[in-house]
Every structure is written in structure tokens, then in C-alpha cells.
Structure 1
Amino acid sequence: MTARLRYALSRPFAVFTLLMAAKFYMTSAVVFGSAGFNPLLSSLPSVWLAFGLIEAVASKRKLAAYWTVDLIFTCVYFAVIMYYKYFGIIVTYHALAQVGQVTEVKGSVFQLLYPYFLLIFVDLLAIAGLWLWNKRFRRWAAEAGRTGIGHRASFGVLAAGMLAVSLAQVLPNRGIVNELKQAERMGVINYEVYTFLTSGTKETVDPDTVTREAVLRLKGIRPAADPVGRGAAEGRNIIFVQLEAFQNIMLDLRVDGREVTPVLNRLKREGLYFPRFYQQVGAGNTSDAEYTVNTSLFTPQAGAASAVYAGKALPSLPKLLEAKGYETMTFHTNDVNFWNRDQLYRALGFNRYYDSAFFKDEDLVYFGASDEVLYRKTAEELARFDAQGTRFYATLVSMSGHHPFNLPPRKNKMRLPERFKDTFVGDYIRSQNYADFALGQFVDRLKASGLWERSLIVIYGDHMGMPIYSLTKEDKKLLEGLLGRPYDYTDMLNIPLIVLAPGALEPQVLPQLGGQSDIMPTVANLAGVPLDDTVTFGQDLLNASSNLLPIRYYLPSGSFINDRVLYVPGSRYEDGQVYPLSGGQPATLQRDTTRQQFERALELLRMSNSYTDNLPDRE
């Protein structure tokens, strides 16, 4: 090795290039599953652009400038890795609005944090340590800061060249709707910059064209002249139970012969059960489920609905029911300010809410009173309204089954075989077994008070609990053993929906495809509440034989579910993959989807965004 080459390799430009290369290779391996030259070709231009500017501009404290750029890029890569491990998509600057929630869900963060991810910060700590305690290193840093005018000009040319290369990576890939493919092609840093600079240029439609009739035409729905179930539960109290992180695969599941969810297994045989029902939440998870279920609108493209839409005068189920004389209320054992719920509930039109101030710190589980306390105190409150002759619409949001499912030992109701010890899947099963047990107490209390027979009860999951992206090989093996097949995206997004109206609805298993946006229209039909003047993006499941569900989070944009498959786009429609809802291996042929469905799903999202964005502000 020549002296000149050794000198070049010892310069900060070369040293930090090698350090950053290791980081974007780690990120690419975790998020994109890519290796070879792809990460180098996509990510190196943005790194060299920043480093070239440092060499061309900085004359002093050059090492500090390199270290700062390293820190910024490292934080971006780390955030991308961690966000992907839960949501399965690329994080953007919009997630900064959720930073305040991190302390509340720190247990979930630690569960997703693989120890080797922290290696991404090692060089930053090492360089800081050397700077503080090694004089020889400081002398090297001072010498490295001396760059001649000719070298500065050369690096300025390099920076300009890398800017041109970065633009060449970004511009041709702007039309890709799949964020993962877009970020992979552009490079992570380029993608983040592009997203920030184009944040105000999202695709919209004329809000005046978004009408109930337009949505029905786009979805291919013809309203039934004499709807099945119309008014079947009219005049009844309405109770929604939203089960935290509850997936449909838990129903009828047995572990060594023992039922995981005996209560729900019984209830689904007593009411209408929809086994092909899927989540449609966004970044807000639980609060997004509350939003979509009560509005039949889709979540925003970025950010939680409770933050983005809480200032809007939202058309909603609570408002429609209040107009028919219902008292509307919602129950959640955590602080109502968490996820901006206090503002969301006002926007949705709930008359009252009950949070930690009502439930107190009794029998704490995770960050609120246990589900047993939720159901006991709620049942007492509902009985009080009933005794006054007040009809009510009440939503209950359970919480004890919250990620990362570290249920206190005192709440364990199910002993699992040794193979589940210290596994995420085992913790999930125990948590949902407890959630099922607590729900059974609520059912018993409603029956004892007589409310059960006089109510319409809707039980559904809010979102998935086991992100496929964060499962270990051991977890996937355990799930495959339980399911008899590999766990896939269709399992992950599949949540339960059970509708009960004792004495009014005959028990049935209904094969219709449904999503959370369909709950409001279905309940409105059963309750005899007309939706003629209300824009809804869901449909009444009792009077529909076909459906199309756009999926926005947990899978890339452009994903959708039709009556047969889950579709996930590639860099374009033609290279997407389909996952059969009935199980089986994913395929690359779109024989069960059409480009028209792909475009309709995207158009439905645009219509919902435009409609909601242009609603008047609430008073």
C-alpha cells in the first residue's frame, strides 16, 4: 500500500464512509432484505453529498461536522429499523408527532429492540470517547481539518455530482406507491428528504365530488331495496367492545387441547360471526380503530387520526345516535389525553368519556386499571343509566392485552407448555386468554342486570398484536405448529368481528369480506338509523356479497384485500404479490386481482382524504 493511499484511507472522509456503509448495509438487510451492491448504490450518494460539503466548506472542527452528520444519519437509520419492526413501513418525519407517546409504550419499544441494533451507535460513542481522552486522536483530528483550496474545490465538484446522482435516484421513482420499494430505490436518506420536501403535495380529488353515491359507484355497491336485518335491533342499547391487539387466529385455537378463548368461542356461536374481517388502522393504532369504526372513514396518510382530524366536525355514529335520543359514552382505563383522545372524542360527538380519573389505579396492568376493573365499573355505570330509562351507546376499549404482552403473573389464567416459555407468542397467548376471561365477566354482569337481552353488542379487534416483521424464527415456528401452516400477512391483519342481539339475530357464520370501516354502516342498518345523507366508505355487511378494502399501514400503500386475496404491490402493479385469504403460498401472478381494483383502492383513499380534509372545523 502506497503512502498516498494510506494517507487517503486515514482521512475522515474515508473513515466515515466505511462507518456509514456498515450502517446502511445493516438497515437494508433488516428492512429490505437486500445485500450485494444495491445498498451501496442507493445510499452512498447521499453520504458522499454530505461529506463532500463538509470537505468543501468546513475549515475548522471538521471532525465535529462528520460526527454530527454521522449522528443524524444514524438516528434516521435506527428509527427506520425500529418503525419497520412494528409497522412494516418506512418511518417519516410525521412520526415526530408521536414521540411524546414513547415513554408510555417503552415496553413495546424494548421488545422490538434486538441488542445488535445498538451496534449502529458504537462508532459515535467510540469517537466521542477518543476525542475526550486521547490527545493523539485530537491531534489527528486537527491535522485532518487542514485541507487545501484545490482539495476543497474537488470535493465541491464531488458534492455537486452526488447531488445529481441523488436526483437521478429520486425523480424516476416518484411514482412508486409502495414506500418500501420507493425508499429502496431512492436510498433511505434521499427518501426521507424527498418525503419532507413534498409533504404538502399529496394527491387529492375535488371534495365536492365525494358523495355517498360516488363512493357506492366506485365500490360497485347497489343498495338493497329491502335490506336484510333493517331495524332488527332498533331501540336497543348499543355496546361496542374493542379488544386490544386481538387477532382472529386466537378463536377456536387450542394449545395441547385447551381453548385459548372459551368465552369468545361461545359468543361467536351465539351471534353473527365474520371470520373474514380485517383491520384498517393507521399510525394511531387503537385510537385509529375508534375513529374508523365510528366514522366509516379511512385514516390519514400520515399521522394518527386523533391528531390529524380531531379538529374537524366529523360525521359519526355517536352523532347519529344522539339525534335518536341515545346517550353516547366511551370507556378506557388510561389517561384520556393519551393519543389526544380527549379531542378525538369531542370530534366524534361522544357526550361523555370515562378514563383513568374514573377507574383510578385499581389493579394496574401495564398503564391502566385491568380489564376486570374496566368491565366491572363500566357494567355498573351502564346499569345506572338503564335504571334511569336512558338508552345508550357505549364503547369499551380493553387494554390488558397490550403489546408487549408482559402480563403480571397474578393475571395468568393459562399454563402453557414448556416450549412457550419466555417467547413472544407465549406471552401473547396468555394475554389474550386473560382478555377473554375478563370479557366473560362483563358478559355475566350484563346478563345479571338484564342489559344483555336489551342490547346490540359488537365485539371486534382493534389491530394486530404479532407483527410478522418482529417475530423471531422461534416465534414463527411456534405459530406454524399452532396453525398448521406458516403465519402470514393475512393472519396478521385478520381480526374478529362478532355481532350479538339476543332474540333478534339468528346465529350465523357469515363469509362476507369486511373491514373496520364496515362496522358503522352495518350497525346503522340493524339499529334502524338511515345513512342517506352520510358519506361512508364502508358498507353494510349484511347486504353485501363483495368488498374491496384499501390497506394503508402495516403494508405498503397500494395494498388491498378483495374477496379472494391480499395484494401487495411491488415497484408497480404488475410485480406485486398476492396472498390467498384461504391460506397457501404467495403468488406473483395477479389472476385474482385486477389493475382496476388497484386503482379503485387508491382512489378510495384519495377520496376519503379529500373529504375529511375539507370538512369544516368543529366549534
Structure 2
Amino acid sequence: MKNLGNKIRDRLNTKLGFFTLSVILCWIKTYFIYLTKFNLGVKGNMQEFLLFLNPLPTTILLLGIALYIKGRKSYIYMLIIDLITSIWLFANILYYREFSDFLTLTLIKGSSSVSNNLGKSILGITHPTDFLVFLDVLLLIVLLLTKFIKIDVTRLTFKIPISITMIAVVGFGINLTMAQQDRSGLLTRTFDNNYIVKYLGLNAYSVYDTVKAAKTSAVKANADSSDMKTVKNYINNNRVAPNVQYTGIAKGKNVFVIHLESFQQFLIDFKWDGQEVTPNINKLYHSQNTLSFDNFFNQVGQGKTADAELMMENSLFGLPEGAAMVTDGTSNTFQAAPAILNQHGYTTASFHGDVPSFWNRDNTYKSWGYDYFFSENYYKQKKDYNIGYGMKDKIFLKDSTNYIQQLPQPFYAKLITVTNHYPYMLDKKNQTIDKTDTGDSTVDGYVQTAHYLDQSIGEFMDWLKATGMDKKSMVVFYGDHYGISGNHKKAVAKLLGKKKFDDFDNAQFQRVPFMIHMDGLQGGINHTYGGEIDALPTILNLLGVSNSDTIQFGSDLLSPQRSQLVAFRNGDFVSPQFTKVNGNYYDTKTGNPVKDLTSDQKKSIDQMTNRVDTELSLSDKVITGDLLRFYTPKGFAKVNKKNHTYSKTKSLKRLKEQDKKSKSSMLRQNNNKSSTDLYHTDAPELSN
């Protein structure tokens, strides 16, 4: 045994021996992380084997680079390469834990637009075991520093590193071939990054993502008007007529769009410890004057909130990687709700109590045609006014009324709440409901921030009624995306009182509220299946704005002829008949897997799959190719971004001038008497 130990140590004291040890440690570490930190949906012996195999070829390739370097430097470079790949793995662990996806180049390029306030979120999702990714690097350094392994300065013949590189390339080729056999079209038809990592590994995914990002850049440079014709033909061939009974019933009304951050449908009518979590929203949901949709789904990808805004106001899908607001919001041509309504006499404004650069809003909103963007510097700031990603909702909504009352009517005003945002923190003085008891820290605070958001909505709606604005306005509420990701299945099952919570349940869990409230509106709970992509056509029809030749992938939710197929960003879908999740099909009504498909079922599912893939692909082309620059709907004027500025001094001056000219604002119609004193809040920060 002693001789064996000496032989192993002698082998490790060679450069190739140290390289072999580094590869084995990195390989084992990566495979362990795949199994414990990611939910890749591995099924069957082939996928199990590929998951075990795929870290090896790229690890050999990357660490093998150091073998081309002479002397001691090869050891240093080997450690540096190992450290860099470990940092990348660590970053993806944290990102995946919250977003169930992997980092992309486009997301990283836009990270400056979303990095504000991320410190608390990162601390909240980091687990001690995450740092195991650095264990092999630390071990190798200790072995070298203690001279348990000695550095071999013997120069390798050039054939050796070349041979190792070839072994890595051949190994990856074998990996790719086996993966393609198990998943045809892996690199050409996937909408889900989990598949690439599952079959080829995280390092290969990073290369794939980089190449794809470069191709996207080239697509925009090479796009022309013929690409737009393909999109236009598809839209026209699949356009459905809106519901004429509702056409124009809100014409001339003010429009409030209230963004319910991370708010999921299950919260409506949900009770915890005998207490309603969202009593005010429950009341609105069941009101006779509210159109409520109980099968309305979020359809976001990596962009989350940014994707939701894009769909809600453009009826275009978010991109498969990154956020279009960040990557394309500054440069692209858009035909968004603010510009459309502005050209129909509306003053348009967005309100957000955080920095204007978040999600690149300060640039994207100019492209979308917003007249005003009231961001953080428009509001009075105190230390306890903010939490997480911006101002607390009660303070934010109250202070927004000062600017709302100055907007010339009719107006379109979007208010973005943020308190109900991960990691669901709320100071004790604002906690008015107990945490749940699932034992999952991500889940248990959710009801507290949701309850706080609900209270702020109640206060805002009371102010609308006190001022009489409820008679002059249509209020749209929407949840932007899930609040609890699919990585918390056990906690969600306990929260909902279910025995299990599987992939099918998680797909159904993506329901978010969509409610349209207006005095005199013939409301009720509508069961049609739809999603955020359908919001804009629905709102435009209610306002009586023609929508017959726009490039929008959604349709009026109230149209009896509409398809009820809801596409998810990764290519999965849900419909009243079937739900597709990770390549598996379920009966939507029963939740049972559909295994032996009849010919009619297969035909129906194939049609759904083709439609989802087509619409996602065409929408991507519109954005990545900036295709709207080649087409302008009748009666629509292209947005001139140079005409928009959100400088506080200039904006407030322009607001006064516009109000003086139109004489239609709340303030003007109230003889310049402010209505803010009619706003009542129990925010403890304002009681001092």
C-alpha cells in the first residue's frame, strides 16, 4: 500500500499528473453541482450518462491550454483557468436559484441596468454549500504550497498538449453526437437553456450562448424589409376580430395600469391563519364592475419584469436570452401603447420609485413614446422610505398622486410597485400578517409583502373614489411574473395544502392576475386562457383604438374567435386541452400525463407546438432584426426619441406648459386645489 501511495505521489509530481488530478477534481465537482444545485430534468439512462460525461471534454480542453505554457507558469495558468470556471459556476448557481435559468452574455452586458440593490438579494440566496465550487482550487493550492505536490518544470513535447486537445475535441464530438441522437435539433430548436447544460454542460452552453449572441447582432445588421413581410403575413393570417360589444366602452377614459410586482393568482382569496392576504384585491376581483381573468398567465423569460412590460405594452414576446429592454430598448423602433395612445390624445406617463436606469427604462421609454417618466429623483427620499428595489408601495403611490393630478386628461399612467419583490423583506412596523410556516425563507415572507401591496392598492383606490376619478378612469391590474419559482416545490405544496407539486402544477402556477376595473363596466370572471401578450389588444379595443394593421402577437381576450393557446418563453405551452412541460404532455383538466396519443390528439398537439414555435421565432425576429423600422401602421407616426427627455427640471416645466394649454388636469379642474390631502395612508413612516 505504501508503494502504491508513493507511485501515486510520484505521478502527481509530474505536470501531467497534476493536470490529471485537476481535471478529475473539477469534473467531480461540476457533476456534483449539476446534481445538487440545478434542476435539469434528467430522465433515462442516456441523459444520466451525458450529464456525467459532459463536464469532462470541456474541462480537459480548458485546463489543457495551460500545458502549452512552459515551466512553473503552466501550474499558475491551470489554477487561474480552474478559478475562472469556478467563479462562472458559482455565479450560475446563484442566478439559477432565483430565476431557474443560466446566465447569458446579453444578460451580463445589460447587468449595469439591473444591478441596483442586488446585494441583499445575493446574500439572501447564497447557501454555504455553494462555496464548495472553490474547494478543488483551494485544495490544489494547498498541495502546491505545502509541497505535497512538487512543481515539475520539465518541458513537455509539443505533441502531448496537442494530443490532449484532440482528445477533448473528440470527446466533445462524441458527447454532441449522443446528445443529438437523444434530442434532435438540440442546437437549432431549443428555447430552454436547461437542455444545453443537461446535454453538453455549462462551459459548452457558454460558448453556444456567445455564438448565438454574435449571430443575433449580425441578424440586425442584415435584416431588410422582406423579413417584415413574412411577419406581417403571419399576423394578418392569424388576426382575429375583437369583441365588438366591448369596443370603445372606455373611450376617452383615463387609464391606470398598475403593475403588481411578483403577484400570483393563487393569492386571490388565499387566507393565512384565518386572515385574507389580499382583501382589497379580492374585492376588486369579484366586483361586478371588474373584468377578471382567472386563466391569465405570465409568459416571461430571463427578463422577468422587463419581459412583462414588453408584452403588456407591445404585444411582443421577450427574448430567449437577456431582456429586450436592455439589449434593444435604446436603438430599436417600437410601436408601443404609450406612442399609440399619445397619438390618440392621451398624455402618457410611467411611475417608478427607483433609479431610471433600472432595466434601461430611461432609454426604452423614449423609444416607446412615453411623455413622462417619474422615477426616483421626482420623489422625496428618506432612509426608511425605501426597501429592496425602491420606494415602499404605500409611500410611492401616495406621492405619485401629486404628479397624477397634474397630467392633462385623458392620460395613460403606469404605476410600478416594487415592495412585493424577492427576497420579500418588510420591516416589522409594516408587518400586519404573520409569515407562513413552510420553513422556506423565500416562501414564508411572501404573504407579508403581498398583504402590504394589497393595503397600498386599497388606499389608492379609495383616493380615486374620493376625488371622483373612479368615474373617469379604467384601472388595469396585472401580475408581472411568478413570485415563487419552481425551485420551491415542497414549500409550495405545503403552502397550498397539496400532497405534491410537480412540473404540471408549476405550469398552472404561472397564473397571474389580470383585471380591468371601470365604473359601469359589465364585469365578471372570464375563464378564457390568455397571457400578457394579449393585454394590449384587449385594452386598445376597450378604448376604441383601431388595431387592425399593427404588428402584435396577442389578441383581444374578449374575442370569441381567439385561440386560447398560451405560449411560454421556453416553448412549453398551456391550453384548455393540453399542457406541455419539458417535452411531456398533460391533460390540462385532470393534470394526468398524456402518453398514448390518439391521431387527433397528436395532430392537435403538433399544431399547437408549431404555432408556439412560429410565434416565438417571428417575435424574436422583429426584435433582433429591428423589423418595425420597415413598417408603419396606418395613422401611426414613428416615435422621435429626441423629442423625449425625463430630466426633472425640463419635464416639470413642460408638464405645467401642457396643462396650461389644455386646462384638463385634475388640478386645473379643481381650481388649482390639490387633491393629495384626500389620500389617506397608514404608512408608519409618514405618521411622524
> CA contact under 8 A between 1:551 and 1:560: conserved in structure 2?
yes
Aligned equivalent of 1:606: 617
For residue 358 of structure 1, report the CA deviation from its aligned partner. 1.5
What SS does the aligned partner of 1:534 have?
coil
Aligned residue in 2 for 1:572: none
> Per-residue deviation at 1:286?
1.7
Q: Secondary structure at the match of 2:412?
A: strand
| 1:184 and 2:201 aligned | no
Residue equivalent to 2:396? 374
* Alpha-carbon spacing, 1:103–1:336, altered in 2? closer, same or farther (3 Å): closer
CA distance in structure 2 between the aligned counterparts of 1:176 and 1:546, rounded to whole angstroms: 23
1:459 lines up with 2:493 in the alignment = no
- Of 530, 539, 543 in structure 2, the residue corresponding to residue 514 of structure 1 is 530
Contact 1:12 1:66 in 2 (8 A): no
CA distance in 2, matches of 1:581, 1:382: 43
Contact 2:117 2:388 in 1 (8 A): no
> SS in structure 2 opposite 1:438?
helix
Within the candidate set 445, 454, 461, 1:436 is matched to: 454
With over 3 angstroms needed to count, the CA separation of the structure-2 counterparts of 1:180 and 1:223, relative to structure 1, is same
Which ranges in structure 1 are unaligned for 5 or more consecutive residues? 570-575
Alignment map for 1:103-118 (pairs within 5 Å): 103-118=116-131
Distance between the aligned counterparts of 2:362 and 2:111, measured in 1? 18
What is the aligned counterpart of 2:172 among 158, 166, 190? 166
Q: Mean alpha-carbon deviation: is it higher for 586-595 or for 89-98?
A: 586-595
Report whether the alignment pairs 1:499 with 2:502.
no
Pairing partner for 1:244 from 244, 249, 261: 261
TM-score w.r.t. the length of structure 2 is 0.80
- Cα distance in structure 1, aligned partners of 2:401 and 2:594: 48
Secondary structure of the 1:439 match is helix
Question: Does the Cα contact within 8 Å between 1:246 and 1:462 map onto a contact in 2?
Answer: yes
1:334–1:439 distance in 2 versus 1, CA, 3 Å: same
Alpha-carbon offset, residue 432 of structure 1: 0.4
Give the superposition deviation at 1:183: 2.2
Is 2:343 the counterpart of 1:323? yes
Kindly indicate whether the alpha-carbon contact (under 8 Å) linking 1:249 and 1:491 is maintained by their aligned counterparts in 2: no
**Whole-Å separation in 2 of the counterparts to 1:565 and 1:458:** 29
Aligned to 1:573: none
Distance 2:85 2:537 in 1: 46
How far off is 1:112 after superposition?
2.4
CA contact (8 A) 1:298 1:609 kept: yes
Aligned residues: 591
Aligned equivalent of 2:501: 486
Q: Does 1:8 align with 2:11?
A: yes
1:213-228 correspondence runs (5 A): 214-218=234-238, 221-223=239-241, 227-228=244-245
Distance between the aligned counterparts of 2:587 and 2:454, measured in 1?
29
Match of 1:136 in 2: 147
State the TM-score, normalizing by the size of structure 1.
0.89
Matches of 1:25 and 1:485 in 2, distance apart? 27
Q: 1:509 to 1:213 in 2, by over 3 A?
A: farther
Once the 2 structures are TM-superposed, how far is the Cα of residue 175 of structure 1 from its aligned partner? 3.5
Counterpart residue number, 1:542: 558
Q: In the alignment, is the contact (CA less than 8 A) between 2:431 and 2:448 conserved in 1?
A: yes
Query: 1: distance between equivalents of 2:613 and 2:73?
Result: 49
**In the alignment, structure 1 residue 424 sits paired with structure 2 residue 427:** no
| Percent pairwise identity | 26
Deviation for aligned residue 1:33: 5.8
Aligned-pair CA distance for 1:589: 5.6
CA contact (8 A) 1:56 1:153 kept: no
Query: Which residue in 1 is equivalent to 2:137?
Result: 124
User: Is this contact kept in 2: 1:228–1:542, CA < 8 A?
Assistant: no
Task: Name the residue aligned to 1:358.
Answer: 378
Deviation at 1:523, TM superposition (A): 0.5
Q: Using a 3 Å threshold, how does the CA distance of structure 1 residues 243 and 484 change in structure 2: closer, same or farther?
A: farther
Helix, strand or coil at the partner of 2:257: strand
Q: What secondary structure does 1:353 align onto? A: strand
Distance 1:57 1:599, change over 3 A: farther
- Cα deviation for residue 180 of structure 1 reads 1.6
Q: Do the aligned partners of 1:240 and 1:457 also contact (CA within 8 Å) in 2?
A: yes
Alpha-carbon separation, structure 2, partners of 1:600 and 1:117: 40
Distance 2:57 2:151 in 1: 26
CA contact (8 A) 1:383 1:449 kept: no
- Give 3-state SS (helix, strand or coil) of 2:317's partner: coil
Partner of 1:154: 160
Aligned partner of 1:476 in structure 2 is 492
AA partner of residue 403 (structure 2): E
What is the CA–CA distance in structure 1 between the aligned matches of 2:397 and 2:451, rounded to whole Å? 16
Counterparts in 2 of 1:512 and 1:123: CA distance versus 1, 3 Å: same
Measure the CA separation in 1 of the matches of 2:489 and 2:523. Answer: 38
What are the within-5 Å matches in structure 2 for residues 546-565 of structure 1? 546-552=563-569, 557-565=570-578
* Larger displacement relative to structure 2 (293-302 or 327-336): 293-302
1:172-211 equivalences in 2 (<5 Å): 172=180, 173-177=186-190, 178-201=192-215, 206-211=226-231
Report the aligned-residue RMSD: 2.6
Unaligned runs of 5+ in 2: 181-185, 630-638, 642-688
